[in-house]
């Protein structure tokens, strides 16, 4: 029986809890059983109205936890004072205040290196074609970072380095990253008569561009975050390591509404010669971030608002801020239906549903280009939209704002931000991430491929 109680308690109580100063939270199932709690160091939290220290406090379930001051404390919990059931790390951190976004932004992300998009057969005479890169084991999705030891800054730089090796009559060494591992291959470039230069037979890309939504910015540090999910290449689905880039003001000219089975999208344009809003220095599983160069057009919330930690978000009414026409962000009603307190993966911490009649009429619910649209509840910024459900466009996923604050450097990270499955992930049709491409009328250099 004691073993069963301990197992139930471990499922109900996370091993890490983050609170803002003076915040309260209840932990554990509602069982009328005595629990002894020892805290090290003392003075960080109060349990059941008493300051917890090394000497211990005896209380009953659920535990009434109150933060006293910033710091980290380890709680040792034991049933009846002698059956250990859980260790909990409690972190008390100041609650950041940021300005919610909602503005549509053009995103131009340059890769650190060049991304292999596809193979490009090289004519070899007699109707034959060869692909040296494929024969050497290079695959679409690989990111080429060095050629003959030289860092690759662009697709054209890659083409020049490969051509130089071919004209010198020597093999070329390609260093690339695949699934987080660095690998190297040596291969011989082949002269491509169509290109009049030596090549290894791949299409490469050094940047991607699209439309998303600014989530927040900190007026003190100028740090911002957007999108709520990682930027990937549309063809290979490979994540791009951030090698720089910009966000620019975007104007929404139309919305193609979502229909069940067919997610819609915002049609956005960036004016030629538009000055950047900010730079990009991070591309993480929960969005891009960087530094603002100037403030965006004000939205419904133009002043800093408190942010909610993950444990403070609740199911119930909320609002999203996004643009449906022009450049002005507006507020729309939604419902937070479900929450994964432990955090999901890939920006899937909450399930949300659009309830606003106007947004349903104009967009059919959630559309591509809404990724990063901030979610506000009870006067706090709580999260951002990330995905739409393909089979129900009124519903989708959202990420906790706490995770975006960590990734942007606005809140100390309690664990590395990483992709991959996590415990207790919310089930459902994941749908696509809501980053939509800029139209082809935008500058060619933004998302073109080059044969190398």
Residues 143-159: pLDDT tens digits?
A: 999 999 999 988 999 99
Give me 373's structure tokens: 């649209």
Rounded distance between C-alpha atoms, residue 180 and residue 169, angstroms: 32
Please say whether the beta carbons of 216 and 98 come within 8 A. yes
Q: Among 118, 148, 356, 392, which one carries the catalytic annotation?
A: 356
Are residues 70 and 157 located together in one domain of the fold? no
Residue 370, pLDDT > 90, answer yes
| Domain shared by 65 and 135, yes or no | no
Choosing from 229, 233, 258, 410, the catalytic residue is 229
**Structural domain containing residue 31:** 2-94
Q: How far apart are the first and last CA of the chain?
A: 67
Total domains present in the chain: 3
Cross-strand bridge partners of residue 262: 259
371 a catalytic residue: yes
Question: Which CA distances in Å does 238 have to 38, 120, 191, 234, 344?
Answer: 47, 18, 29, 8, 20
- Considering the domain architecture, whether residues 73 and 178 belong to the same structural domain is answered as no
Between CA 45 and CA 27 the distance in angstroms is: 13
Mean pLDDT for the stretch of residues 368-395: 94
Q: How far apart are CA 281 and CA 407, in angstroms?
A: 11
Strands 83-92 and 16-19: parallel
**At a CB cut-off of 8 Å and minimum separation 6, what does 272 contact?**
443
Decide if 229 is catalytic: yes
Q: Is 220 found in the same domain as 159?
A: no
User: What confidence tier does 246 reach under pLDDT thresholds 50, 70, 90?
Assistant: very high
Model pTM?
Answer: 0.83
Inside any domain, residue 422: yes
Residue 369 falls within a domain, yes or no? Answer: yes
Q: Is residue 115 part of a domain?
A: no
Report whether pLDDT(99) > 50.
Answer: yes
pLDDT for 283-292, tens place per residue?
999 999 999 9
Catalytic residue among 207, 258, 371, 373: 371
């Amino acid at each position: 029986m004691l073993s069963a109680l301990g197992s139930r308690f471990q499922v109900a109580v996370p091993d890490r809890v983050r609170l803002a100063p003076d915040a309260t939270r209840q932990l554990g199932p509602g069982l009328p059983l005595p629990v002894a709690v020892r805290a090290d160091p003392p003075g960080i939290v109060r349990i059941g109205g008493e300051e917890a220290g090394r000497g211990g406090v005896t209380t009953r379930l659920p535990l009434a936890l109150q933060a006293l001051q910033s710091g980290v404390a380890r709680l040792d919990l034991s049933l009846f004072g002698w059956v250990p059931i859980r260790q909990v790390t409690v972190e008390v951190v100041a609650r950041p205040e940021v300005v919610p976004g909602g503005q549509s932004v053009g995103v131009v992300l340059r890769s650190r290196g060049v991304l292999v998009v596809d193979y490009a057969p090289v004519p070899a005479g007699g109707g034959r074609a060869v692909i040296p890169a494929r024969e050497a084991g290079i695959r679409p999705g690989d990111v080429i970072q060095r050629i003959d030891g030289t860092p690759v800054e662009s697709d054209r730089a890659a083409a020049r380095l490969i051509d130089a090796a071919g004209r010198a009559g020597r093999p070329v060494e390609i260093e690339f990253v695949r699934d987080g591992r660095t690998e190297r291959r040596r291969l011989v470039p082949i002269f491509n008569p169509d290109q009049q230069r030596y090549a290894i037979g791949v299409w490469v890309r050094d940047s991607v561009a699209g439309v998303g939504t600014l989530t927040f910015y900190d007026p003190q540090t100028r740090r911002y975050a957007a999108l709520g999910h990682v930027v990937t290449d549309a063809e290979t689905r490979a994540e791009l390591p951030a090698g720089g880039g910009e966000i620019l003001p975007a104007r929404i000219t139309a919305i193609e509404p979502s229909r069940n089975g067919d997610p819609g999208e915002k049609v956005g344009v960036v004016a030629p010669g538009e000055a950047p809003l900010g730079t990009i220095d991070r591309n993480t599983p929960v969005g891009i971030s960087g530094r603002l160069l100037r403030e965006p057009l004000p939205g419904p919330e133009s002043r800093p608002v408190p942010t909610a930690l993950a444990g403070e978000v609740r199911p119930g009414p909320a609002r999203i801020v996004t643009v449906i026409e022009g450049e002005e962000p507006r507020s729309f009603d939604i419902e937070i239906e479900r929450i994964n307190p432990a955090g999901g993966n890939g920006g899937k911490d909450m399930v949300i549903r659009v309830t606003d009649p106007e947004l349903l009429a104009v967009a059919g619910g959630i559309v591509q280009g809404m990724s990063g649209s901030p979610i506000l509840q009870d006067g706090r910024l709580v999260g951002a939209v990330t995905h739409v459900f393909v089979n129900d466009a009124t519903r989708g996923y959202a990420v906790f704002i706490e995770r975006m604050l960590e990734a942007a450097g606005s809140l100390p990270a309690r664990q590395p931000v990483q992709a991959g499955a996590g415990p207790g992930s919310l089930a459902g049709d994941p749908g696509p991430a809501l980053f939509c491409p800029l139209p082809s009328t935008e500058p060619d250099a933004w998302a073109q491929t080059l044969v190398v």
